[in-house]
């Protein structure tokens, strides 16, 4: 038997079915099947997501094993996302992982999706030093996490309503852009100026609130299009730049507050929204001003992916943290 630790990791918390193989913490493969079925509905439809995971999971796992050049008999453990996420989606990955671990008689490792987004920073160099602060921004979450060690994290603040990615997507929907709208807003904003000011929510502590932004945009567009029906088409680039600037300013203001309060200068960004070009640039500019060391993982490890689940699982494997066949998925929560 080989001494190396080879982990198959499965991620199925939302609308991407992903499988990865890691050997001793090194990613050998990371394969993802995106689901197109949701596009026409302007958001993820849970029942469709669950059915698509069922159709995708076996081909994606086979592809990940093939690309890694690894056979099932070489695996040391199977890891899966236990939560948070959509229940129907989580159940597919969870059941598959349990069945595979049982049939191969190898350990099972459950992983928290939000902790995995943070631990994606350990896939490649440069890696942040402990303690660090991570701003995780995705379609489902907006969190500021204090990371003392790979197994010791604390949520310092989070959104009280919509996530940052959701704010991009909902604003984009009002502007007639497709789903998910984040990337389209990013593209349009590059040709525009942030000349429309939207009010920023005043939220206590290190928390966020983005639902007021959506309402402010809705009322603003209603008022403008009443007298000028082509207002959106004529001002799309400036509208996108204004929405993006408002979201990025809120995120960075709170992140700076977290860094100053804790005195920590190792600062990291994670989640799908960290693909946003303005957020990346302004995060690095702010880092230079504040004397931070800043970290952003490669794009493929920022969006939902199984490699980050495998990374988190590898740390758990080294600590001997395994779970039983009775580990049920959970829809919410940072720690199981
Ligand atoms: O992490 P992720 O792939 O999935 C979740 O766990 O939610 O994040 C998806 C979110 C979507 O809301 C999408 O609009 C947003 O990330 N997003 C962006 C950009 N690329 C993806 N938002 C703004 N600018 C982008 N370039
Ligand atoms: Zn995610």
* CA of 273 relative to ligand 1 center, distance in Å: 4
* Residue 40 is assigned to a structural domain of this protein: yes
Same domain, 87 and 50: yes
* CA of 303 relative to ligand 2 center, distance in Å: 6
Contact 87, 100 (CB under 8 A): no
* Residue 39 is assigned to a structural domain of this protein: yes
Give residue 89's domain range. Answer: 6-118+301-319
- pLDDT of 2 over the 70 cut: no
Q: What are phi and psi of 15, to 5 degrees?
A: -115, 10
* Residue 325 is assigned to a structural domain of this protein: no
Contacts of residue 205, defined as CB under 8 A and 6 or more positions apart, other chains included, come to: 157
Same domain, 96 and 219: no
Overall average pLDDT of the 161-182 stretch: 94
Q: How far apart are CA 32 and CA 60, in angstroms?
A: 7
pLDDT bucket at 111, cuts 50 / 70 / 90: very high
* Residue 327 is assigned to a structural domain of this protein: no
pLDDT of residue 202: 86
pLDDT tens-digit series, residues 172-228? 999 999 888 999 999 999 999 999 999 888 898 999 999 999 999 999 999 999 999
Same domain, 145 and 270: yes
Q: How far apart are CA 133 and CA 138, in angstroms?
A: 16
pLDDT tens-digit series, residues 67-84? 999 999 999 999 999 999
* DSSP at 199: P
Structural tokens at position 160: 């009280």
Same domain, 143 and 73: no
pLDDT bucket at 335, cuts 50 / 70 / 90: low
Q: How far apart are CA 7 and CA 29, in angstroms?
A: 11
Structural tokens at position 114: 């939000």
* Residue 19 is assigned to a structural domain of this protein: yes
CATH number at residue 73: 3.30.420.40
Contacts of residue 289, defined as CB under 8 A and 6 or more positions apart, other chains included, come to: none
Same domain, 271 and 310: no
* CA of 100 relative to ligand 1 center, distance in Å: 31
pLDDT of residue 34: 82
pLDDT tens-digit series, residues 52-66? 889 899 999 999 999
Overall average pLDDT of the 25-32 stretch: 96
pLDDT bucket at 1, cuts 50 / 70 / 90: very low
CA angle in degrees (0–180, nearest 5) for 139-55-119: 40
Same domain, 138 and 274: yes
Same domain, 272 and 173: yes
Overall average pLDDT of the 12-41 stretch: 88
* Residue 328 is assigned to a structural domain of this protein: no
* The CA-based dihedral angle spanning residues 321, 322, 323, 325, taken in that order and rounded to the nearest 10 degrees: 180
H-type alpha helices, 105-227: 113-119, 164-174, 182-189, 211-227
Query: What number of other Cβ atoms are within 10 A of residue 34's Cβ?
Result: 13
Number of domains in the chain: 2
Work out the percent of the chain whose per-residue pLDDT is above 70.
99
List, chain by chain if needed, residues with CB within 6 Å of any ligand 1 atom.
14, 138-140, 165, 168-169, 180-183, 186, 271-273, 275-276, 303-304
pLDDT bucket at 118, cuts 50 / 70 / 90: very high
* CA of 300 relative to ligand 1 center, distance in Å: 12
Contact 12, 31 (CB under 8 A): no
Structural tokens at position 147: 């990371």
User: Is beta strand 142-149 parallel, antiparallel or unpaired with respect to 132-137?
Assistant: antiparallel
pLDDT of residue 336: 42
pTM of structure: 0.94
Same domain, 70 and 141: no
Q: How far apart are CA 208 and CA 97, in angstroms?
A: 35
What DSSP assignment string belongs to 279-321?
HHHHHHHHHHHHT-EEE---HHHHSS-HHHHHHHHHHHHHHT-
Overall average pLDDT of the 304-323 stretch: 97
Q: Which atom of ligand 1 is nearest to the CA of 302?
A: 1
Overall average pLDDT of the 254-278 stretch: 97
Same domain, 230 and 216: yes
Same domain, 197 and 245: yes
* Residue 62 is assigned to a structural domain of this protein: yes
pLDDT bucket at 268, cuts 50 / 70 / 90: very high
Q: How far apart are CA 81 and CA 12, in angstroms?
A: 7
User: Is beta strand 77-83 parallel, antiparallel or unpaired with respect to 26-34?
Assistant: unpaired
- pLDDT of 39 over the 80 cut: no
Same domain, 307 and 282: no
* Residue 324 is assigned to a structural domain of this protein: no
Same domain, 66 and 173: no
Cis peptide before 80 (omega within 30 of 0): no
pLDDT of residue 204: 87
């Amino acid at each position: 038997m080989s001494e190396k630790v080879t982990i198959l990791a499965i991620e199925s918390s939302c609308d991407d079915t992903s499988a990865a193989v890691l050997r001793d913490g090194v990613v050998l493969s990371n394969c993802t099947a995106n689901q197109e079925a949701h596009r026409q509905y302007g958001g993820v439809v849970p029942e469709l997501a669950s059915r698509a995971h069922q159709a995708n999971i076996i081909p994606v796992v086979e592809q990940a094993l093939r690309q890694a050049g690894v056979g099932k008999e070489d695996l040391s453990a199977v890891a899966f996302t236990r939560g948070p996420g959509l229940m129907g989606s989580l159940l597919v990955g969870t059941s598959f992982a349990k069945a595979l671990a049982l049939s191969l008689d190898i350990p099972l490792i459950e992983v928290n999706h939000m902790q995995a987004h943070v631990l994606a920073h350990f896939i490649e160099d440069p890696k942040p030093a402990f303690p660090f602060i991570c701003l995780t921004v995705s379609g489902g979450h907006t969190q500021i996490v204090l990371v003392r060690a790979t197994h010791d994290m604390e949520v310092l603040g989070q959104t009280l309503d919509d996530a940052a990615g959701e704010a991009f997507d909902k604003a984009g929907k009002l502007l007639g852009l497709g789903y998910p709208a984040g990337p389209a807003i990013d593209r349009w904003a590059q040709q525009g100026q942030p000349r429309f000011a939207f009010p920023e929510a005043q939220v206590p502590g290190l928390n966020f609130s983005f639902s007021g932004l959506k309402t402010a945009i809705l009322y603003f567009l209603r008022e403008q299009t009443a007298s000028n029906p082509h207002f959106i088409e004529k001002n799309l680039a400036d509208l996108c730049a204004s929405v993006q600037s408002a979201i990025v300013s809120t995120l960075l203001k709170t992140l700076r507050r977290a860094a100053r309060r804790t005195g920590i200068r190792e600062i990291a960004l994670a989640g799908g929204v960290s693909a946003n070009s303005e957020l990346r640039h302004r995060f690095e500019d702010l880092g230079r001003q504040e004397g931070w060391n800043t970290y952003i993982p490669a794009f493929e490890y920022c969006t939902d992916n199984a490699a980050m689940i495998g990374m988190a699982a590898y740390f758990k494997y080294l600590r001997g943290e395994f779970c039983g066949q009775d580990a049920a998925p959970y829809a919410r929560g940072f720690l199981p």
